[in-house]
Chain A
Amino acid sequence: MTASRRQAALLAGGLVVVITAGLAAADISPSTPWRHLYLLPVVLAGLRFGPFVLREIEGHGPTRAAAEGIVTLAVLALSGALVGSLAARARRQRERYETLRAVQRVLAAPAPLGRVAARLAAVLSRRLGVDTAGLVLDEGRMVAGADVLDPRSLAARVLVRREPVFVADAGTDVRPRRVVVVPLTSAGQTVGALAVERLGDVSREERDALVGVGAAVGLALDNARLVARQRRFAEELEHKVGAATARLAEMDRLKSGFVALASHELRTPLTALQGFSELLATRPFAPSEVRRFAEIMRGEIERLGRIVSDFLDLARLERGLAPAIRRAILDPAPLITGAVELFRRTRTTHRLELHVEGALPHVDADADALDRVLKNLIGNALKYSPPGSCVRVRARAVDGVIAVDVDDEGPGIPAEERARVFEPYYRVRETAALGPGTGLGLSVVRSLVEAHGGTVRADAAPGVGTRMTVILPALP
């Protein structure tokens, strides 16, 4: 080989090295047109050695110089093609890693899944060098790159079959529109589909790479979902803990209020008992007067008894126990009538009306508990309604249950507080001043009714006031 041809060979080889180094250093896509620079050394070798080889063979036959020329030409051409191919493969690999990094960056940003999917589609479109990229997530409910998922589309097919699909031409463009749709997989599950379209070729290598990208994106997406779920869970937990803390603080405040109130509630009958007993012990009274004092004292003792019973029931409730009841089969009508009659006798400031519609079926209940429920509700109605107003008690059988309504004409309970009146210690702020109370009565009512398998609720009465309704299961 002559010196000039050796120089040409070295130049071509050097060009291969320089071009490879240049392309490796430059931050450019694998599909860059600069990759065709590898043609330069090949063309150079062809120009330098091709005519020489032809001339040599034509002039002197297959000489050693011609063979050397052919070998040099072949080596240069082969090395150019090989290095170019290897470099392109390395760039593709790098591109794939960078794509995955870009995907991770998108997924790491806290944002709603829809926005993440749209960003992901844009990033994949740019990084993969395709015309459009789209994502289908959440079993087709979330779509990026299109408005909606057509159930007969390629993406829908991939979601069902869980296999990549390549279509060499879709649409009616002048240039063929290649479509690749790969499943997004995570732990063997298909979590979505990635679709890319390009007006031009999508090589087998690119398609294989897309399958890998789909798996990586699926995994990353799944991880991001888990992180988002954990974040949501933590936020929910924080919210719940906050709410529970606030509730505890409220309970604490209510309990403190209750202690003061209970002391007052206990003190009042005790004071009355102390006063009347001192009067009876120190001064002579007429027999009728003594009887009147004894009636008053008995009323106060009953009041004390009710308060103590409420405390005991509350203590059981707070320990998570149902109130102690002794069930027996009984007719509720006499109980209801008795309770109403009792209040009619003792409270003459209100009109008390009783309507029992038809014969009431029997119930399996504790008579004392039902009596407490009824007296509590009627007592509240009388306490919180103005003198001269009417309190109506209505009992009826409806579809296997007994419903007892107690209506008053008081100021009523605001709608947002109706559920809370059954909580222990809770008293409606607007009506608390209308009468004494511990805030325990309705919570005890509810626990007693529920212990019987029934319900109690507060509603607005027709017109004005409050309606308390007790529903109890009836015996067939």
Chain B
Amino acid sequence: MYAIARPWEPRPGGLLSGAPLPLLVALGVLTAGAGVLATAEAVPLTLAHALGAGGAQGALLATAVAWAAPRGGPAPALAAAIVLVGALGATLAPFGAAAYLVAPVWLWRQRARLPGLGLARASAGLVAAGAVLGALLGAHLLVTASLTLGYGVRAPAPDVLAPWLAYDLGGNVLTTEAFVRGALFDRVQRRWPFGGAAALVTAVCLARYLVDPLLPHSLEVAAGAVFYLTLLSLGNCWLYWRSGSIVPGVVAAVAFFAAYRLLHVVP
């Protein structure tokens, strides 16, 4: 029994200790610079979006990697570079969105060196629960958006939907879940009760999506986003709490965003 038979050493460091600050500053400069350049119309908007999104999401994944493996793990900069390359590849090449998939493949191959990132195999039941959660929220979103807000639902062609799915899986969802659930929630739950930890990371999750320039910012969409993303985040926290893996949460979020991509409002 731990409390009796093993020596107790207080865990060193605070909640945010171990973050790769120089790298985050550099990525922040890159993201802000992309915004400035886009505003000044010095670079094409798509390129600025790619740089901004890649930089921000790369910062999330780099932080997650740094926290998950303080010693002996892969370099956080490499994680950020992979995400950035995915974002640029999706912008610059015709089938470049496939480059987003490098990130999940790389992470999965590195999972042995990233013990604290929640890359463990989850039970099929919890993965299915994640899929059901995402599908339910997505279906509810489609029904509510079409009935209340009047958004149309379409069945996009595979060549339109596939890049978005690749983006969600390899960039949007993966980096968010890796940082918010695998890194941040994992740290917070080891300090706070589940409710407090889930509330904090849900707030972070909402902030991350609400400031995302790639999502629409009308009031009704923002209100809906708060509602659905709150439920999605709380559900994913519970799935992570039960499984210790981000896989069910990634499945839930990908399913939800897949439904979201069916709305006409998608830019």
Residues of chain A at the chain B interface (Cβ within 8 Å): 132, 134, 136, 143, 145-150, 152-155, 157, 167-171, 174-177, 179, 181, 195-197, 200-201, 203
A195 to B6, CA, bound (A): 13
The reply to whether A195 and B4 form a contact with Cβ atoms under 8 Å apart is yes
A26 to B38, CA, bound (A): 65
The reply to whether B191 and A153 form a contact with Cβ atoms under 8 Å apart is no
A445 to B118, CA, bound (A): 88
By Cβ-Cβ distance, the 10 closest A-B pairs, closest first, are A174-B244, A169-B190, A152-B7, A195-B3, A146-B5, A146-B4, A146-B1, A134-B1, A154-B3, A176-B190
Cβ 8 A contact of A169, one of B3, B4, B191:
B191
In chain B, positions 186-232 with a C-beta closer than 8 Å to chain A are: 189-194
What is the minimal beta-carbon distance from A136 to any residue of chain B, in angstroms? 6
The reply to whether A153 and B7 form a contact with Cβ atoms under 8 Å apart is yes
A148 to B7, CA, bound (A): 12
The reply to whether B5 and A148 form a contact with Cβ atoms under 8 Å apart is yes
Determine the chain A residues whose CB is within 8 A of the CB of B245 once the complex forms: 174
**How many residue pairs bridge A and B at CB < 8 Å?**
70
Chain A's interface: helix, strand, loop or mixed, by majority?
loop
Cβ 8 A contact of B8, one of A157, A168, A177, A203:
A157
Provided the pairs A153-B8, A169-B191, A201-B193 are in contact, do residues A174 and B2 lie with their beta carbons within 8 angstroms?
A: no
Determine the chain B residues whose CB is within 8 A of the CB of A134 once the complex forms: 1, 3-4
Determine the chain A residues whose CB is within 8 A of the CB of B118 once the complex forms: 174
What is the minimal beta-carbon distance from B140 to any residue of chain A, in angstroms? 13
Closest B residue, CB atoms, query A194: B3
Most chain A beta-carbon contacts within 10 A, residue among B2, B190, B244: B2
- What does the 1/0 interface line of B108-122 toward A look like (CB < 8 Å)? 000000000010100
Provided the pairs A167-B8, A170-B8, A174-B244 are in contact, do residues A203 and B193 lie with their beta carbons within 8 angstroms?
A: yes
In chain B, positions 229-259 with a C-beta closer than 8 Å to chain A are: 241, 244-245
Given contacts A152-B7, A174-B118, A177-B2, 18 further A-B contacts (CB under 8 A): A132-B1, A134-B4, A136-B4, A143-B4, A145-B1, A145-B4, A146-B1, A146-B5, A149-B5, A150-B5, A150-B7, A153-B6, A153-B8, A168-B190, A170-B3, A181-B3, A197-B2, A201-B193
Cβ 8 A contact of A153, one of B3, B192, B241, B244:
B3
The reply to whether B3 and A179 form a contact with Cβ atoms under 8 Å apart is yes
The reply to whether B6 and A150 form a contact with Cβ atoms under 8 Å apart is yes
Closest B residue, CB atoms, query A177: B2
Q: Judge if B11 is at the interface, Cβ distance under 8 Å.
A: yes
Closest B residue, CB atoms, query A158: B3
Can you list 12 residue pairs at the A/B interface with Cβ under 8 Å? Answer: A134-B3, A150-B7, A153-B8, A154-B4, A167-B3, A167-B8, A168-B190, A174-B245, A175-B244, A176-B190, A177-B2, A197-B1
A167 to B10, CA, bound (A): 9
The reply to whether A179 and B11 form a contact with Cβ atoms under 8 Å apart is no
A169 to B2, CA, bound (A): 11
A171 to B4, CA, bound (A): 12
Determine the chain A residues whose CB is within 8 A of the CB of B241 once the complex forms: 175
Determine the chain B residues whose CB is within 8 A of the CB of A200 once the complex forms: 194
Chain B's interface: helix, strand, loop or mixed, by majority?
loop
The reply to whether A147 and B244 form a contact with Cβ atoms under 8 Å apart is no
The reply to whether B5 and A154 form a contact with Cβ atoms under 8 Å apart is no
What is the minimal beta-carbon distance from A4 to any residue of chain B, in angstroms? 23
A195 to B8, CA, bound (A): 13
A171 to B245, CA, bound (A): 18
Determine the chain A residues whose CB is within 8 A of the CB of B189 once the complex forms: 169, 176
A196 to B3, CA, bound (A): 8
What is the minimal beta-carbon distance from B151 to any residue of chain A, in angstroms? 17
Provided the pairs A176-B189, A203-B193 are in contact, do residues A149 and B2 lie with their beta carbons within 8 angstroms?
A: no
Cβ 8 A contact of A201, one of B1, B120, B191, B194:
B194
Determine the chain A residues whose CB is within 8 A of the CB of B5 once the complex forms: 146-150, 153
Most chain B beta-carbon contacts within 10 A, residue among A168, A177, A179, A197: A168
Determine the chain A residues whose CB is within 8 A of the CB of B2 once the complex forms: 154, 170-171, 177, 179, 197
Determine the chain A residues whose CB is within 8 A of the CB of B244 once the complex forms: 174-175
The reply to whether B120 and A154 form a contact with Cβ atoms under 8 Å apart is no
A469 to B7, CA, bound (A): 59
Determine the chain B residues whose CB is within 8 A of the CB of A157 once the complex forms: 8
Closest B residue, CB atoms, query A132: B1
Closest B residue, CB atoms, query A135: B4
A153 to B2, CA, bound (A): 8
A177 to B11, CA, bound (A): 13
What is the minimal beta-carbon distance from B19 to any residue of chain A, in angstroms? 20
Cβ 8 A contact of B4, one of A155, A167, A177, A201:
A155
Cβ 8 A contact of B191, one of A155, A168, A175, A195:
A168
What is the minimal beta-carbon distance from B97 to any residue of chain A, in angstroms? 33
A203 to B195, CA, bound (A): 10
A169 to B191, CA, bound (A): 7
Determine the chain B residues whose CB is within 8 A of the CB of A197 once the complex forms: 1-3
Determine the chain A residues whose CB is within 8 A of the CB of B1 once the complex forms: 132, 134, 145-146, 195, 197
A152 to B5, CA, bound (A): 9
A143 to B192, CA, bound (A): 30
A234 to B120, CA, bound (A): 61
Most chain A beta-carbon contacts within 10 A, residue among B4, B7, B120, B192: B4
- What does the 1/0 interface line of B1-45 toward A look like (CB < 8 Å)? 111111110010000000000000000000000000000000000
Determine the chain A residues whose CB is within 8 A of the CB of B192 once the complex forms: 168
What is the minimal beta-carbon distance from A195 to any residue of chain B, in angstroms? 4
Most chain A beta-carbon contacts within 10 A, residue among B1, B118, B190, B241: B1
